Structure 1
Amino acid sequence: MRPAYSAVFADTKLAACAPLEPIDAVTTQWAWEGSTGEGVKVAVIDSGVDATHPDVGPVQGYVAIREGEDLKLVYDTDPHEDSFGHGTACAGLIRSLAPDCDLYSVKVLGSKATGQGRVFAAGVRWAIDNGMQVCNLSLGTTKRDFFSIFHELADEAYFKNVVLVTAANNMPIPSYPSVYSSVISVASHDVQDPYVFYYNPNPPVEFGALGIDVDIAWQQHKRRKMTGNSYASPHMAGIVTKMLGKHPGLTIFQIKTILRELAANVDRNRVSRPPHLLGEDGGGAE
């Protein structure tokens, strides 16, 4: 065992950082009003995306990842179809909020919306390595074997400012990567307003967004109503995309702070008093 060590936090190595607006000025108008998500790269890591669906529109890039016969991963960057409809649904929800974002389809699921953990991890790795800014992950794995792999990927994404927005498991079972503090984990509510979201002070699920009776894009240019955390996650991803379109320099820490402040269940007129500090007002041990 050795004590934790860090090099000296020298002033000469620190960069000047712009402050956020005063809390009172952090409003939805400030955060994303007028933004269309233009210029923000968004990866939908899922079953593929149907770019011909009228509610999805153009897809700027593709990659389909699968295991080859020799178990090596194969990366196909040709345009592909959606094998199930799930990815198209998520892409359509993101596009409805951020119509001018740059969508990328990272296909890791097959025709039954199932896949392999290592292929899923490779999809996240591809998104990090290829400059994605927001990734929608309406999928996860419950296999403990992948805990460390996804934990490392989630932390790397955080440090590289790649926002992973993940759907929590629909069942009360931990799934990865939604349980990590470095991602934005999302569950469902039924308020039919895509801009209404709630903050959960009892993680690992941090936020609740619209995910019940959601009107979504589906295969064969159709639409249908569906329920699930899978459809809450892209609503939050769309909001984050709009924020980055308006404020390109935001870090994930700042994004989470802003989302918490703007959550529908946060009463901004009720400000808690700061905690009593040891030694103040004559308190503390003698």
Structure 2
Amino acid sequence: MRKVTTVQRKRDRRRPSPRAAGRAALALVAAAASLLSVPGLAPPAAATPCRTQVVEDDLGENTGPHRLIGQLGLRQAWDLSTGEDVLVGVVDSGVDARHPDLADGAVVRGSEFTTVATEREARRGTPPPEQDCSGHGTAVAGLIAARRAAGDRMTGVAPAAAVYPVRLDGAVDQVPPETIAAAIDDAVAAGVDVLNLSFGRPVDDPPVREAVARALASDVVVVAAAGNEGDQGPAGGLMYPAAYDGVLAVGAVTDDGQPMESSNTGDWVDLAAYGEALTVVAPEGSGYRVESGNSFAAAQVSGVAALVRARFPELAAQEVARRLTETASPVGGGPNEATGAGIVDPFGALTYLGPSEAAGPEPGAEAGAAGAVAVRPVPPDEPLVGAATATALAWSGALLLAVALSLLGVPAVRRATARGWRAWPGPEDRRSAPAGPRRAAPSLRWLDGGDDATTTTPRGGNGD
């Protein structure tokens, strides 16, 4: 299992100051492109057609609580944290903030990035609140921070958190790495506490790698999907940014906890969450739809990270990530390449006490980490009494036994003596014994309860 790298405790939330000349140049290029339709230049966001989505007002036959509530044990976790005051960045296809389940501050106004292909640079803008063509980002945002609906039929993992959407205009596999890097930097500059990257690329792009490193150095918990290629991708299943060191790479499991066949595997996978046929919020209305895949498993892990950051704001991103991996529920008896440490456990992460003192602190870990509950050390096993006391008790027991035997034996001896019992025959008994069949010794007469009982034994002793 990879260890999450150490990050700085404080992040710089100031936005970088763009150069005026560069901004003017980008504006000129964009204006010219809109007139000349330069090939490769993304059209304005408003001109991008969005497909029609489901617009039902309810969840159809799903009249009970959202099943993730039971699968992840969210009711117990919500008693401790709901993600309040935590901002989660979602770099994706955008978020349709008009959905009723994403009201009440669930989504803040974010940004979008379109690509200026001629200069391999990105143009930042502010998307309209309804802009999400594919609905992918809306589904991810809902799994993170959707508000609890009546009967909990719909909810996010962290229903009091907020999502900062960063929209990428175009399919992620066609977006230049510089644009993706700019989107990540924008989320970090906005002050996000958790960054969800539910996409993957089979190429290690230096601009993306460097942007992720900046996010980690700014104390952001970075969560990414491991990918849905079933290890059949160009890199044998290795996907970025999930495979970068320090990023929580998330695999997907079915409802019965088994790894999904489509989920990529490798020693770079950190943990897993549920990814099969999940009910998610849909754009273009108030409806819902069903989705599957690692993207939505990663959203659950981002929600759990938000719960932990809300409960323990002093914890560094590295410590939050370690809580999630060390408290995950193992799949198949232990860590493996499909699910990493196991399925994420919100309540376990919120109540984690840290590594045991017997094992000693982890390398680089500071003593008395924030958020850890102080526990008195268990006293060593000691005998209930000391050696001297044990000896005294033994002697007392022996004396008590002797007294008891004496008290019980005196009446028996007196009764036997009254009947003429002796411990062994005296000389007068032997002289008075008649010849012939031998009478039993007087010392044995009392055994049959009568004074005249005799035992006849042939003198030879062999029955002759």
Task: Please confirm whether the aligned pair reaches a TM-score higher than 0.5, indicating the same fold.
Answer: yes
Paired with 2:267 and 2:143, the residues of 1 have a C-alpha distance of 25
Unaligned runs of 5+ in 1: 1-14, 16-27, 194-200, 276-286
* Alignment-mate amino acid for residue 129 of structure 1: A
Q: Look at both structures and tell me which one has the larger radius of gyration over its CA atoms.
A: 2
Distance verdict in 2 for CA 1:38–1:192, change over 3 Å: farther
1:61 aligns to 2:109 (yes or no): yes
Higher strand fraction (1 or 2): 1
Match of 2:140 in 1: 90
Q: 2:124 aligns with which of 50, 75, 84?
A: 75
**CA drift at 1:249:** 1.5
Distance verdict in 2 for CA 1:182–1:113, change over 3 Å: closer
Indicate conservation of the 8 Å contact 2:173/2:201, yes or no. no
* Alignment-mate amino acid for residue 160 of structure 2: D
Secondary structure class of the residue paired with 1:55: helix
Paired with 1:102 and 1:164, the residues of 2 have a C-alpha distance of 16
Match of 1:128 in 2: 188
Distance verdict in 2 for CA 1:202–1:32, change over 3 Å: farther
Paired with 1:35 and 1:138, the residues of 2 have a C-alpha distance of 24
Distance verdict in 2 for CA 1:152–1:31, change over 3 Å: farther
Secondary structure class of the residue paired with 1:61: coil
TM-score by length of 2: 0.47
**CA drift at 1:39:** 0.9
Indicate conservation of the 8 Å contact 2:93/2:168, yes or no. yes
* Alignment-mate amino acid for residue 64 of structure 1: E
Match of 2:55 in 1: none
More RCO (CA 8 Å, sep 6+): 1
Match of 2:366 in 1: none
TM-score by length of 1: 0.74
**CA drift at 1:68:** 3.3
Count the aligned residue pairs. 237
**CA drift at 1:167:** 0.4
1:140 aligns to 2:186 (yes or no): no
Paired with 1:115 and 1:222, the residues of 2 have a C-alpha distance of 29
Paired with 1:131 and 1:175, the residues of 2 have a C-alpha distance of 26
CA root-mean-square deviation: 3.0
* Alignment-mate amino acid for residue 166 of structure 1: A
Secondary structure class of the residue paired with 1:97: coil
Unaligned runs of 5+ in 2: 1-8, 10-73, 146-155, 232-236, 258-264, 335-347, 349-355, 361-464
* Segment drifting more, 39-48 vs 210-219: 210-219
**Which stretches of structure 1, 4 residues or more, deviate above 3 A after TM superposition?**
28-33, 68-72, 112-115
What is the correspondence of 1:181-200 to structure 2 with a 5 Å cutoff? 181-191=245-255
Q: Percent identity?
A: 31
Q: 2:221 aligns with which of 163, 166, 169?
A: 163
Paired with 1:263 and 1:109, the residues of 2 have a C-alpha distance of 35
